[in-house]
A and B are shown apart, each in its own frame.
Chain A
């Protein structure tokens, strides 16, 4: 077996379920009513215990104002934006079809690149340093590909950057388009960005980061990149972007084979781009509602995204059930590799401190009962794309693990409400 295709062929072989696994499964099916009833009894007992332990938390939450307008950011830097000449209108061209669509009228447009500027921003910076000037060229070239930053915007929780990507080799016109809406036919093409970024904090690896946009021609792609900050950004900052790979798919793949990668361009593109957080159209609103360990803490609303900050019950590992020997068996060799890569190894204490949260889901509807598109979530927050929906009032619903799937599949707001265990209404 020397080819990937053989591997896939092997995967597709008919697999027999082992007898003991099948017996356990069919036994459960045969007794499904009884087993389900027993499980419900256990869940009720657990919930009662949880209610007792959470009394103090609930009392504290109840003491707060349920819905209170809190913080309006105002870190706009219109002066800086106004004095910069235009180089492009990439937001204008791609934002209508992008996942985080909207009117990016408050973006900072980066200065145009002079015709005689060196291709690489590093050379330009060296030239600037020698002359004691700042030409404001945000362009980097490597391996036949030039990345030129065009516009930048930050609402405090995310940084949105547009860029033009030019490739000498071409191939961008074969990048397939993907749907960017839950309903409807709006699509965008995308180029995955690998590398690291920071904005006044520690560098983060780019994770699931894409320039979402369109191929202007076979050699030119324009797109916007959304980077989510782990901590709230304020004031002026510098986006330090260090790209190491650009990857994209191709619709020129053979029929039935959807995954053939067309391009993966390795290189070094380093861009340091100043920006100012502009919260002039953003609001952060305290909510403070909780029940049974779940909570809706606050909501952040910008023209492009709504972030619901949540709480959920969690458990941790204990030294009794997860010993140092377990940790060594699990992480010993891997930590050696991590250390060899120059990264910080995982410690036993890290694992004991890690919180394992119960599952939950949230849904957000506007005043007209239109659902906002959920993009991603973790144990602390859920992020929704506004996608040009009018937002006057938000209705937020949270369902625990018993109803989370129903909430996702809810056909309308009434169903979502019926399935939720906690809800909040926010007037904007």
Chain B
């Protein structure tokens, strides 16, 4: 792991000097992560591919501004999420966040997995923190930095997501359960 990290830092340094081969290898390493997060936010492959493409371009153009190479992935995810938000607007699929309509599961093989259907029941804010935390392994503080919200807001979204999922399991419809203490 340490060797891999050193290797990645070397790749970033070379990519900063606009070494195309190094940049390509670096971005391919993170390609799967970009796809999973973009898919969770945008829900369809076409838009996810656009977001990945735009992220690669932005990263190529702005990599020189990255101060600390250790934070590359956090920085990369923030770029991706910005592009996902832009795509949602441009595709006229933008809705007011708090009132996001819940779409049904898609018909492709990826979305047919039950867990993915359940993920789609969450709103975009909840899906994003769930994927960043559980799938990508970011810490709460890192997610707060990526999304530019407070740590407590990240945890609140995760708690809300969990409660909503629990309600789906127990009652079969959306909403929050409130534990009485």
Residues of A within 8 A of B (CB): 1-4, 6-13, 15, 17-18, 20-22, 24-26, 28-30, 32-33, 35-36, 39-40, 99, 143, 167, 169, 171, 178-179, 190, 192, 208, 210, 245, 247, 249, 258-259, 261-266, 315, 317, 321-322, 326, 330-331, 333-334, 338, 346, 356, 359, 374, 376-377, 401-403, 405-406, 409-411, 419
Contact = CB atoms under 8 A, between A and B. Distances in A.
B70 interface: no
B31 A17 contact: yes
A169 B159 contact: no
Contact of A171 (B141, B180, B181): B181
Interface in B24-47: 24, 27-28, 31-32, 34-36, 45
Contacts, number: 182
Interface residues of B, number: 73
Given A32-B57, A258-B140, A321-B92, A7 B159 contact: no
Contacts of A1: 114-115
Contact of B67 (A10, A359, A409): A409
A261 B49 contact: no
Contact of B101 (A15, A39, A331): A331
B162 interface: yes
B156 A247 contact: yes
Given A10-B115, A20-B49, A261 B159 contact: yes
Contacts of A192: 152, 156
A6 to B, nearest CB: 7
20 contacts: A4-B166, A7-B118, A7-B165, A10-B113, A11-B131, A13-B113, A13-B115, A15-B35, A25-B27, A25-B56, A32-B20, A39-B57, A40-B61, A208-B153, A249-B155, A259-B133, A261-B163, A326-B92, A330-B93, A331-B101
A36 B55 CA distance: 11
Given A1-B114, A24-B49, A208-B156, 12 more contacts: A1-B115, A13-B115, A15-B32, A17-B31, A36-B61, A261-B163, A330-B93, A376-B148, A405-B75, A405-B79, A409-B75, A411-B67
A218 to B, nearest CB: 12
A334 B118 CA distance: 19
A28 B56 contact: yes
A3 B23 contact: no
B131 A18 contact: no
Contacts of A401: 82
Contacts of B141: 179
B84 interface: no
Contacts of A25: 27, 31, 34-35, 49, 52-53, 56
Interface of B: 18, 20, 23-24, 27-28, 31-32, 34-36, 45, 48-49, 52-53, 56-57, 60-62, 65-68, 71, 75, 78-79, 82, 86, 89, 92-96, 99, 101, 108, 110, 113-116, 118-119, 130-131, 133-135, 140-141, 148-153, 155-156, 158-159, 162-163, 165-166, 169, 178-181
Residue among B133, B149, B180 with the highest chain A CB neighbour number at 10 A: B180
A163 B172 CA distance: 38
A255 to B, nearest CB: 14
Contact of A178 (B108, B150, B158, B181): B150
A265 B162 CA distance: 16
Sort A-B residue pairs by CB-CB distance and give the 8 closest, nearest first. Answer: A10-B115, A406-B65, A259-B158, A29-B24, A21-B49, A261-B159, A334-B101, A266-B178
A320 B23 CA distance: 40
Residue among B86, B94, B115 with the highest chain A CB neighbour number at 10 A: B115
Contacts of A321: 92
A35 B24 contact: no
B118 A21 contact: no
A416 to B, nearest CB: 11
A169 B61 contact: no
Contacts of B149: 208, 376
Given A259-B158, A265-B180, A331-B101, A33 B20 contact: yes
B35 A259 contact: no
B92 A322 contact: yes
A406 B71 CA distance: 13
Contact of B179 (A32, A179, A264): A264
Nearest to A18: B45
B57 A35 contact: yes
Contact of A208 (B32, B35, B93, B150): B150
Contacts of A419: 65
Contacts of A403: 62, 65
Contacts of A3: 169
B24 A263 contact: no
Given A17-B35, A35-B57, A208-B156, A261 B162 contact: yes
A266 B131 contact: no
B57 A28 contact: yes
Contacts of B18: 33
B166 A29 contact: no
